[in-house]
Structure 1
Amino acid sequence: MNKELLDIRPRELKFTVERKKRSLCSIQLVNNSNQYVAFKVKTTSPKNYCVQPNTGIVQPSSTCNFTVTMQAQQETPPDMQCKDKFLIQSTIVPFGTTEEDIIPSMFMKDGSKYIEENKLKVVLVTPVHSPKLQRINGTLKLDRAHEASIPRNQMLNGVENYSPSYMVASAVEELKPGKEVDSKPAKSVEEFKLEKEIEELKLAKDNEEKKLAKVTGELNSKLNEWKVKLSEADNSITKLTVEGTTIIQERDSLRQELAVLRRTNGVRVVTVGFPFLFVCMIGLIGVALGYILHS
């Protein structure tokens, strides 16, 4: 295929490395085709990263996001280099396919389907810290290291143009001495982004738990149905076994009766007394003798 199934934005994963702090990175997948596309995310270091979700379906002309969380690092890498890689596999699936229908065999290269693979590298960046304020003679001023690095651009009218951070420091300096200043640092953009991504992860986790509970309930329901059917099958087998035993007993009884009948039919019947024809002959002879004697 000349055209990629998914457009990946961005093409690299950037993580802000801070000691003992987790870092998040979000990747967007764009499906520009008119097909359902299934994707799967793999990494060379599964222990160091958490991908949520690691599989999914991108519907036609739609987008899908997944978040990668890098586990907290005990020590910051000295050279800020990382050899970890991520692999995104994607393939076309039938219309109506859902996340629950995804199986590992969908992404196996058996030659019968097209599997697209995109590799993403990991880039480590250092955190951006805000300028430090020091209290000098009862007022807050910028740290000298930051104050020395403030660029001053000369305007045409002779007014000096300071950077926004320097203007903030000047405004703080002009505060009244008797007024208390909140020394709690404001949250940076990275912290807000991190909190937002954590909330999204919690929401995704809750959704996954709900789906898991639903699937578990359905499996338990099906298991109960199979148990009922198995019990009915056991009862039917027991009933058939009893009926089979009864039929065998009746068959044996019939065989015995048949054997008795056969033996009875095989015995000759012995007639006791004179035959009927002999009696008739004697009678006729008697009648003839009587007739002769009377005549």
Structure 2
Amino acid sequence: MELLEIQPRELKFTFELKKQSSCSIHLVNKSDQYLAFKVKTTSPKRYCVRPNTGVVKPNAECDVMVTMQAQRVAPPDMQCKDKFLIQSTVVPYGTTETDIRSDMFAKDSGKYLEEKKLRVVLIGPAHSPVLLPLNGLLKQDPCHENFSQKDQLLSGVENTPPAHVVAKDVEGFKTAKVTDESRAAKDVESRPAEDVDELKLTNDIAKENLAKDIEELNSKLNVVELNLSEAKLIITKLTEERSMATREKETLKHELAMLRKKSDVRRVRVGFPFLFVLIIALIGIAAGYLMHS
């Protein structure tokens, strides 16, 4: 089912050098849900879109004004290769314009995304009358003709121009027809260029999605770097605690060795020395010998 009806499908601008030109896009929400839309173009510096994003309520309508900035140079053969892309998607009930985010229109979001492309057509200014055939004769287009009482008879019958004027008008009409046919042929030949523009628009959208992915990766890298910094701090703290434990262990070993050395000295000092005992024994033997003698 078509969510958003868009009229017209071609944006027609009246092209005049150093003058702006505007046209409107009419959007109609054909569903019973809130729809968010976004307008993109292949030449963002050349056009001003107001609003470029918005919300259309169920069964409601919205107008978007597109303004082409003043140009200093006319394109060749008045052929414009610019394109517009209108994206629309379903949003929750009560969503407003301030709630719209760029990720709502991402193709990898899992939501249904409706896209429609619009061509740009340039029209020359209506400074000269346009002749149209009528009953075998040529008549001015009512859109470009200024009527006056002198152009009509009192009876209301149209004036018939002289024969030489009619002949010149016929020649001009044939020339205009040949020009239109040549332009149509050039338009057919320029179809591949339009495909290139569509590819350019797709590439712009892909670049935008790539920029979003890069931004997400950068945020994830920042989180990983923060976790690495915390892990380094924890490792440094554990290393310091291990060094302190090692120093305390060495200190305890040294103190234990000192205590063992002191206990050995005390054990040696307990009792009489061997030389003292030997002298006492000799004295005793000598005294005994003297007493017996």
Instruction: Report the TM-score range of the alignment, normalised by the length of the smaller protein.
Output: 0.3 to 0.5
TM-score normalised to the size of structure 1? 0.44
TM-score normalised to the size of structure 2? 0.44
Give the structure with the higher percent helix: 2
